[in-house]
Structure 1
Amino acid sequence: MNSNLYFIQGNGDAASEIRGIDWSKTPLGDPGDWPSSLKTAVQMMLASRFPKAITWGPEFITLYNDAFRPILGDKKECMGKPFNVIWQEAWSEIGPIAAKAYGGEATFIEDFPLVIERFGFPEQCYFTFCYSPIRDDTGKVAGMMDTVIEVTGKVETEKNAAILNAELAHRIKNTFSVVQAIASQTFRASADRQHLQTFAQRLSALANAQEVLLLGKNSGGPLNDVMTKAVTALNVADRVALSGPPIVVGPRCAMSTSLLVHELTTNAIKYGALSSSQGTVSINWFVDTAGGEKTLTLRWLEEGGPRVMVPRRNGFGSKLIKMGLMGNGNVQLHFHPQGLEAIMAAPLEQIQGEGRLFSAAAQ
């Protein structure tokens, strides 16, 4: 073994390859003359379990660790070869990114698509990687570190899930349409068509909530999207202002919130602020930690409509509103003369369900 390679530690295949190369015949020269910054970078790379490669000098001479080897596939004798030769089929895409690193600018990219040929045929792959500049002992950029992980399987899985979700959303909407048609036929002889219309609208609210769940990640959906769908379906989105942190809610909360906002909006159109051309509604929500438990509070406020009166009777819609965000009944209704105010709250853990986390912006 070359005594000048004393800094190469470990018994992995990559370390053995590095020891077996006559570096004096490469642009890097004898390892004894390598700058200490390169030696340190190589030591750190070989000690890492994360796929890493180093390119050095204007020739992009490459060294890599054992974790990087599977990314190369069947490519042979890559240790010590120029990076642009190893990945010549993709150099037009990654070359400019490498140039940025050599210019002193690190680049991080997620799910980057590349067509590579590592098994003898073109293959669409995806990588999340960072090209970071490495400076020599004088402070000048002399190379770069490629820290990379292949995410082809993850990206393909997400694509397939999106296709399946879209198909499932289509089928569920068809099912809701069938239920609506059955109801219409069943109550065709009824004199009270208003009940049928109300039923159809509530069914539509459920369908919209289901679409948000299916097209979102996992089985949850953004709270903002759930409420936007509900007010858009009633053609009043331009008069309803939404504000609050980005929060992903679980399926149960999405369903109950969609129906809740639908009922409040319907009532506002019939009797409240939205029955007047000047009336508006604001919906805002926030998270606090009162009592040591994270709680989501949602506030509905109507303004600019006719004078509000306390309703004399409570129908199904009123009962639905009083059930609150998660059916826990934690609702305060204030019939101010200038407009209805509804404040409802529920534990964030229940709101999100299945252990989802809310955005850092909500903290």
Structure 2
Amino acid sequence: MAENWAEAWEAVSPFVEATMRGESVFFENHEVEIDRSGQLEKGYFTFAYSPLRDEDGVVRGLMDTVVETTSSVKAERKARIRNGELMHRMKNTLAIVSAIANQTYRSSQTVKEANERLLRRLTTLGNAQSVLMSEDHEAADIRAVVESSLAPFRQAIGQIKVEGEPVHLAERHVFSLALALNELASNAMKYGALTVPEGRVRLGWRIEGEDFVLEWRETGGPAVTEPDSSGFGSFLIRSVLADDFNGEVTLDYRRDGVVCRLVTAEANLSFRRTAQHHAA
């Protein structure tokens, strides 16, 4: 055993010695370094050592029953990590929901208006969460986020042009961008370019030098005037979106259409880019 299990002998020899003294030994999921194809790797094994005695009761050897449990140990550890991540995400989501509910009811004129706004915003959050869950749980492609955010406005999809290269966003970016786009689209449907058939919205994102730039631009709608007061939607766009992306957001009520522009350093994103350019 010392020769054949040379790399693991230091770890198992105390158990062998105890067995040779007449003790039965059992240990579960014991970490051992083993030689696999000339390389040392950590593995986990469940051992049962039983002494073998001669006719006089003297221990002459041992029976070693071994089951490798490396895969099950790693799966259990991964599950614990994933459960911890899900608990953290649930707490974050509940905090976001609480803040949205409080601000929505505070800034609405009637209960009916508040209920409608809250339902729309929570639906947007749910869609964003679904995008995260369908991908790698920690990041999501920006196009999937955009499509889920604009899904409630299917009747105007032909008026909205979306273009940009593949970019992966971190979890905090996903939620704030989804909410901001939903607010912009809702405003465009009520007051802006999407109130008329000839109105158009162009949503695009790109890398400019060391910056990531995303722009929502409305054209062809009724003349725009800046609102007298800012509601929770404007706060989401100007403050929350800017903070989560660690960048700058401008919301410009131009007469020919609203323009919203987000600029942040490329390094602030969790993303992967390819040479392929997507446009729809």
Aligned residues: 182
Q: Out of 283, 296, 311, which is 2:212 matched to? A: 296
Q: Is residue 198 of structure 1 aligned with residue 124 of structure 2?
A: no
Superposed CA deviations along residues 232-267 of structure 1, whole A, max 9, x for unmatched, are 123232221110111111111111100010000011
Alpha-carbon distance change, 324 to 330 in structure 1, aligned in 2, over 3 angstroms: farther
Q: Which residue of 2 aligns with 1:250?
A: 170
The equivalent position to 1:208 in structure 2, one of 106, 113, 127, is 127
Q: How do 1:16-55 residues align onto structure 2 when only pairs under 5 Å count?
A: none
Alpha-carbon displacement from aligned partner over 1:174-205 (angstroms, at most 9, x marks no partner): x99xx89xx8xxx9xx9530111101100111
Instruction: Report Cα offsets for 1:8-66 as digits up to 9, x if no partner.
Output: xxxxxxxxxxxxxxxxxxxxxxxxxxxxxxxxxxxxxxxxxxxxxxxxxxxxxxxxxx8
From 319, 337, 353, give the equivalent of 2:235. 319
Distance 2:110 2:165 in 1: 45
> What's the offset of the Cα at 1:323?
2.0
CA 1:231–1:243 in structure 2 vs 1: closer, same or farther (change >3 Å)? same
1:310 is paired with a residue whose SS is: coil
Structure 1 counterpart SS, 2:128: helix
User: What SS does the aligned partner of 1:234 have?
Assistant: helix
Q: 1:326, CA displacement in angstroms? A: 4.4
Q: For the structure 1 residues 346 and 263, does the alpha-carbon distance in structure 2 shift closer, same or farther, using more than 3 Å as the test?
A: same
Task: Give the counterpart of 1:223 among 142, 155, 158.
Answer: 142
- Deviations, residues 281-337 of structure 1 (Å, cap 9, x unaligned): 110110122xxxx32100110011100111111011111111264424611222222
The aligned amino acid for 1:263 is E
Higher relative contact order (CA 8 A, sep 6+): 2
Report the AA paired with residue 299 of structure 1.
Answer: E
State the alpha-carbon separation in 1 of the partners of residues 131 and 263 from structure 2: 22
2:195 maps to what in 1?
275
What is the CA deviation profile of residues 142-195 of structure 1, one whole-angstrom value per residue up to 9, with x for unaligned ones? Answer: xxxxxxxxxxx9xxx9xxx9xx9xxx9xxx9xx99xx89xx8xxx9xx953011
Unaligned runs of 5+ in 2: 1-36, 39-70
CA RMSD across the alignment: 3.2
Alpha-carbon distance change, 345 to 304 in structure 1, aligned in 2, over 3 angstroms: same
Per the normalisation by structure 2, the TM-score is 0.57
Aligned residues of 1:324 and 1:345 also touching (Cα < 8 A): no
Alpha-carbon distance in structure 2 between the residues aligned to 1:212 and 1:237: 19
CA distance in 2, matches of 1:304, 1:329: 29
SS at match of 1:278: coil
- Change over 3 Å in CA distance of 1:191–1:322 after alignment to 2: closer
Partner AA of 2:249 in structure 1: V
Q: Which has the higher strand share?
A: 2
1:317 maps to a residue whose letter is G
Q: Which amino acid aligns with 1:196?
A: N
Q: Is the 8 A contact 2:224 2:257 kept in 1?
A: yes
The runs of 5 or more residues in structure 1 that have no matched partner are 1-65, 68-152
1:333 aligns with 2:225: no
Which whole-Å CA distance do the structure 2 matches of 1:204 and 1:288 have between them?
33
Residues 218 and 329 of structure 1: CA distance in aligned 2, closer, same or farther (over 3 Å): closer
Q: Closer, same or farther in 2 for the Cα pair 1:361/1:308, shift >3 Å? A: same
**Using the alignment, how far apart are the partners of 2:241 and 2:273 within structure 1?**
17
Query: 1:211-235, CA deviations, whole angstroms, 9 ceiling, x for partnerless residues?
Result: 1111113521110110111111232
Question: CA separation of 1:299/1:313 partners in 2, compared to 1, >3 Å: closer, same or farther?
Answer: same
Q: Quick check: 1:346 aligned with 2:264?
A: yes
Q: TM-score, normalised by structure 1?
A: 0.45
The DSSP-based 3-state class of the residue aligned with 1:296 is strand
Give distance in 2, aligned partners of 1:347 and 1:361. 21
C-alpha distance in 2 between matches for 1:345 and 1:324: 14
CA distance in 2, matches of 1:258, 1:339: 21
What amino acid maps onto 1:308 in structure 2? V
Output aligned runs, 1:1-363, within 5 Å: 192-235=111-154, 236-289=156-209, 294-323=210-239, 325-327=241-243, 328=246, 330-352=248-270, 356-361=271-276
